[in-house]
């Protein structure tokens, strides 16, 4: 047993330190709750440029790469809605006159559809894409002049199943031009098509995307934070009772 004179200063100091620690914990928890209670649904991560340079080939060939292409965790798929027409992506070699200066991907059919998703099915933002007309490919090389402007329509499906759309008018020939998206955020997929029936086709390059991480529910954080505060307060009350009992035993 300790006397009141011996134990009181030490116990009072311990209680004071406990209160100070508790106040710090409360400040930290309240700050976190305020941060996460902002009206946000997602946290944005890394910006990625899909540039297709892994497909670069120094020759005068047109290569077929199949119906799918994956890069940096993203997946592109080629589809065609005309029976019997192959679903595939293509590239041209650096020695061909159609080569625009960097490796581009194209489907080569005006009625084709291209689908962009994350490989793991996650959420992403679409920022920009480079587009240009694809000239007719022939054995002798470049065989077409600028075929005139045409439209490419993009459809974005968001995580909440809402749809965002935009149409870009492409009139640049063998010169990449960047087109910027507005509102293409929190997406699970993007599809794009080419209008104009059997008109000019396009090639694309440097797709800029941004990874997105779903944020925990603000309500869940609030409830969890309050539960932690209540539990800590109960532990402090129990500690005070034990210290008083020890002091006056």
Query: Could you report the per-residue pLDDT of 142-180, keeping only the tens digit for each?
Result: 444 556 788 899 999 999 999 999 999 988 877 889 999
Identify the pLDDT of residue 139.
Answer: 45
| Count of beta carbons in the 10 Å neighbourhood of residue 126 | 21
Identify the pLDDT of residue 173.
Answer: 77
Identify the pLDDT of residue 86.
Answer: 62
Identify the pLDDT of residue 248.
Answer: 52
CA 21, 22, 26, 32 dihedral sign is positive
Mean pLDDT of 123-136: 90
Tokens of 70: 């994956």
More confident residue, 181 or 141: 181
Percentage of the chain exceeding pLDDT 90: 39
Query: Could you report the per-residue pLDDT of 60-101, keeping only the tens digit for each?
Result: 999 998 889 999 999 999 987 666 556 689 999 999 888 889
Query: Could you report the per-residue pLDDT of 232-247, keeping only the tens digit for each?
Result: 666 666 655 555 555 5
Half-sphere exposure of residue 56: CA atoms within 13 angstroms, side-chain side? 11
Do the Cβ atoms of 109 and 203 come closer than 8 Å? no
Q: How confident is the model at residue 134 (pLDDT cuts 50, 70, 90)?
A: confident
Do the Cβ atoms of 101 and 176 come closer than 8 Å? yes
More confident residue, 51 or 9: 51
Right CATH for 42-214 from 3.60.20.10, 3.40.605.10, 3.20.20.80, 2.60.120.1350: 2.60.120.1350
Output the pTM of the full model: 0.68
Which helix (H) or strand (E) covers residue 14, if one does?
helix 4-36
Query: Could you report the per-residue pLDDT of 25-66, keeping only the tens digit for each?
Result: 444 444 554 444 444 455 667 899 999 999 999 999 999 988
């Amino acid at each position: 047993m300790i006397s009141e004179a011996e134990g009181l200063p030490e116990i009072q100091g311990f209680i004071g330190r406990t209160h100070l620690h508790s106040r710090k914990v409360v400040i930290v928890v309240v700050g976190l709750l305020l941060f996460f209670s902002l009206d946000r649904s997602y946290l944005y991560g890394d910006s990625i440029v899909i540039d297709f340079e892994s497909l670069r080939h120094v020759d005068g060939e047109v290569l077929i790469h199949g119906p799918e292409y994956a890069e940096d965790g993203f997946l592109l798929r080629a589809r065609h809605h005309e029976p019997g027409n192959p679903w595939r992506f293509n590239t041209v070699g650096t020695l061909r006159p159609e080569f625009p200066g960097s490796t581009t991907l194209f489907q080569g059919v005006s009625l084709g559809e291209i689908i962009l998703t994350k490989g793991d099915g996650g959420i992403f933002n679409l920022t920009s894409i480079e587009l240009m007309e694809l000239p007719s490919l022939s054995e002798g090389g470049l065989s077409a002049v600028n075929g005139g402007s045409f439209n490419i329509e993009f459809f974005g499906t968001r995580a909440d199943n809402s749809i965002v759309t935009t149409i870009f008018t492409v009139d640049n020939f063998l010169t990449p031009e960047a087109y910027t998206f507005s509102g293409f955020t929190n997406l699970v997929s993007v599809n794009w098509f080419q209008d104009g029936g059997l008109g000019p086709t396009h090639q694309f390059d440097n797709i800029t995307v941004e990874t997105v991480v779903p944020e925990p529910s603000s309500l869940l954080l609030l409830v969890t934070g309050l539960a932690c505060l209540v539990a800590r307060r109960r532990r402090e009350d129990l500690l005070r009772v034990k210290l008083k009992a020890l002091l006056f035993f």
